């Protein structure tokens, strides 16, 4: 097929989802990410509901099956099948089930190997949207089934991750934000004492030389991925969490990375609202304590406002210091839906600022003025379809219909021209990362249908 002139469409998007369908779930992309990821599955279900709502429902139900006994929903669920490993693969960096070793943790589920951290809590929104497409009886059975589990998850977030009860959840690892190497995280990590080996790699500039340790750069050019030293640093933080049994109490006694994330908290605030809608549909009452936490959370987004840069920021939980966000998170309070119209319109101005997020192919994951900005490098510049989708929802919510439609149509066009890539150049629209990425395909289907 001559891909140069091809215009991709919904049928092609469906094929990507079929390709990545591993039977009991749809993975982000078969070769690079063969497991199930929490927020990926939410986005996958949101698109899939238009073509196969029953399958979309099962995509989400499998996520709930992996819930920990304490309520946490993990960010990765590992596939059961064990793949044959070549001799060389034993030397590769591995963040699979043996790395997380959840079966050693009593809170972990008995039937699934999972990671020990979570990811943006998009579940309530995804469940509501999927339920809309199910036959009435199935929809209410589905919502009844997931409701107590969702409650437990949101309760876990406020109980375990909001130690000072200020309404802002703290993350223990950049992976929990889903924006793995966002500028704010890399800036924060540069202040944390690094393991000696990582310092050595940086000092001797061994980054490229050590590329053979990685699986991702076998599949995608290394200039489109994070640096090896960055990846190793993230892995070393996860190792420490494992030594602390992924337990908040232990982690907070000897913390490394504890950050109140603007994007995660914005997503949680919106999903508190969707959880409340599910409760209303089922004629149930949200437990009082959770209701109180949700209320505090809504007002607490203002704790992340920073006058000196006139924008919302992430915040270091341990020092209380704001982090120079410089990334797409700055726009995500739009999705939270708790800003005044004036505050929302200030964020819209950032979308139109050529030093910030204005670009031919929306929306860059880092501000163009950021020293980290690089149109190819993962969460440090490229445009991603899931964050576009969240921002479109936010713009619509505040009545910025024209702005929402512009981003929507540009996103659709970009995908139709380049294909279902993982991320895209905000300058040229060229696709980067994996060429068959599930959430790009599914959210394209959703944007076409909405
Ligand atoms: C990367 C992304 C994360 C995503 C995962 C699976 O880690 O940063 O957001 O969930 O891949 O696609």
Q: What is the pLDDT along the chain (450 residues), one digit of tens a residue?
A: 456 678 999 999 999 999 999 999 999 999 999 999 999 999 999 999 999 999 999 999 999 999 999 999 999 999 764 555 555 555 566 789 999 999 999 999 999 999 999 999 999 999 999 999 999 999 999 999 999 999 999 999 999 999 999 999 999 999 999 999 999 999 999 998 888 888 888 877 877 767 777 788 888 888 888 888 888 899 999 999 999 999 999 999 999 999 999 999 999 999 999 999 999 999 999 999 999 999 999 999 999 999 999 999 999 999 999 998 899 999 999 999 999 999 999 999 999 999 999 999 999 999 999 999 999 999 999 999 999 999 999 999 999 999 999 999 999 999 999 999 999 999 999 999 999 999 999 999 999 999
Phi, psi of 270 (to 5 degrees): -60, -40
* Vertex 121 angle, CA 314 and 287, to 5°: 105
3-class secondary structure, 318:
coil
Instruction: State the pLDDT at residue 92.
Output: 63
- Whole-number Å distance between alpha carbons of 161 and 408: 34
Give the per-residue SS3 of 387-406. HHHHHHHHHHHCCCHHHHHH
Question: pTM of the predicted model, to two decimals?
Answer: 0.95
Q: Is the dihedral of CA 346, 350, 351, 354 positive or negative?
A: positive
Is 218 designated active site? no
- By most ligand atoms within 8 Å of CB, the mutation choice from 39, 120, 180, 384 for ligand 1 is 180
- If you search the block for the tokens 């915040």, which residue do you land on? 315
Going from the Cα of 381 to the center of ligand 1, the distance in angstroms, rounded, reads 15
The 10 Å Cβ neighbour count of residue 106 is 9
Which pLDDT score, from 0 to 100, does residue 117 have? 98
Give the Cβ contact number of residue 191 at 10 Å.
12
Q: 173 C-alpha vs ligand 1 centroid, how far in Å?
A: 13
The protein residue whose alpha carbon is closest to atom 2 in ligand 1 is 178
Q: Which member of 180, 188, 416, 446 is catalytic? A: 180
Smallest CA-to-CA distance from 99 within 219, 200, 243, 298 is with 243
Which residues have a Cβ under 8 Å from the Cβ of 136 and sit 6 or more positions away?
none
Pocket test for ligand 1, best of 35, 122, 178 (most atoms within 8 A of CB): 178
Going through 209-368 in order, the beta strands assigned E by DSSP cover 259-260, 305-306, 311-312, 314-316, 322-323
Locate the ligand 1 atom nearest the alpha carbon of residue 179 and give its number.
8
| pLDDT at 331 (0 to 100) | 98
CA angle at 135 for the pair 130 and 138, rounded to the nearest 5° = 80
Q: Report CA(37)–ligand 1 centroid distance (Å).
A: 7
Which atom belonging to ligand 1 lies closest to the Cα atom of 422?
12
Q: Where are the beta strands (DSSP E) in 166-267?
A: 170-171, 259-260
* Given the residues 40, 216, 260, 422, the one annotated as active site: 422
User: What is the atom index within ligand 1 of the atom nearest the CA of 75?
Assistant: 10
- Residue to probe by mutation, ligand 1, list 32, 33, 119, most atoms within 8 Å of CB: 33
Whether 180 is catalytic is yes
Instruction: State how far the Cα of 67 lies from the Cα of 65, in Å rounded to an integer.
Output: 6
Q: For residues 2 and 369, give the distance between their C-alpha atoms in angstroms, rounded to a whole number.
A: 37
**pLDDT value at residue 293:** 98
Q: Quick one: pLDDT at residue 226?
A: 85
User: How many angstroms separate the alpha carbon of residue 198 from the centre of ligand 1?
Assistant: 23
b/e map of 325-345 (b: 16 or more CB within 10 Å)?
A: bbbbbbbbbbbbbbbeeebbe
The neighbour count for residue 302, using CB atoms within 10 Å, is 13
Pocket of ligand 1 (CB under 6 A): 28, 33, 37, 39-40, 178, 180
Quick one: which atom of ligand 1 is closest to the CA of 38? 10
Cα 178 to ligand 1 centre (Å):
6
């Amino acid at each position: 097929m001559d891909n140069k002139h091809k215009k991709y469409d919904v049928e092609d998007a469906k094929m990507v989802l079929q390709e990545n369908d591993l039977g009991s779930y749809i993975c982000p992309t078969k070769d690079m990410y063969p497991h199930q990821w929490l927020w990926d599955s939410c986005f996958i279900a949101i698109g899939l509901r238009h073509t196969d709502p029953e399958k979309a429902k099962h995509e989400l139900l499998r996520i709930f099956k992996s819930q920990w006994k304490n309520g946490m929903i993990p960010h990765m669920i590992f596939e059961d099948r064990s793949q044959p490993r070549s001799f060389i693969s034993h030397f590769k960096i591995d963040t699979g089930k043996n790395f997380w070793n959840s079966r050693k943790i009593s809170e972990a589920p008995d039937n699934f190997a999972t990671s020990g951290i979570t990811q943006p809590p998009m579940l309530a929104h995804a469940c509501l949207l999927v339920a809309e497409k199910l036959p009435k009886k199935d929809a209410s059975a589905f919502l009844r089934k997931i409701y107590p589990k969702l409650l437990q998850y949101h309760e876990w977030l406020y109980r375990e991750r909001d130690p000072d009860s200020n309404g802002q959840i703290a993350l223990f690892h950049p992976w929990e934000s889903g924006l793995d190497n966002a500028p704010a995280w890399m800036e924060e990590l540069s202040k944390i004492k690094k393991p000696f080996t990582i310092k050595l790699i940086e000092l001797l500039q061994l980054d490229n030389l050590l590329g053979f340790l990685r699986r991702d750069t076998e599949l995608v050019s290394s200039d489109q991925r994070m640096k090896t030293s960055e990846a190793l640093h993230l892995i070393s933080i996860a190792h420490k969490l494992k030594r602390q049994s992924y337990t908040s109490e232990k982690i907070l006694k000897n913390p490394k990375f504890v950050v109140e994330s603007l994007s995660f908290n914005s997503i949680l605030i919106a999903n508190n609202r969707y959880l409340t809608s599910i409760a209303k549909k089922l004629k149930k009452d949200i437990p009082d304590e959770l209701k109180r936490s949700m209320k505090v959370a809504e007002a607490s987004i203002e704790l992340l406002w920073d006058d000196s840069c006139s924008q919302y920021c992430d915040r270091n939980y341990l020092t209380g210091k704001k982090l120079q966000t410089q990334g797409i998170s700055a726009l995500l309070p739009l999705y939270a839906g708790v800003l005044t119209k004036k505050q929302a319109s200030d964020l819209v101005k950032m979308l139109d600022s050529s030093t910030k997020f204005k670009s031919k192919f929306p929306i860059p994951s880092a501000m163009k003025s950021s020293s980290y900005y690089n149109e190819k490098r993962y969460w440090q510049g490229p445009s991603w379809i899931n964050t576009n989708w969240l921002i479109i929802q936010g713009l619509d919510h505040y009545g910025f219909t024209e702005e929402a439609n512009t981003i929507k149509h540009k996103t659709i066009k970009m995908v139709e021209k380049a294909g279902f890539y993982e991320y895209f150049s905000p300058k040229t629209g060229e696709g980067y990362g994996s060429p068959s990425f599930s959430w790009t395909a599914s959210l394209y289907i959703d944007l076409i249908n909405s």
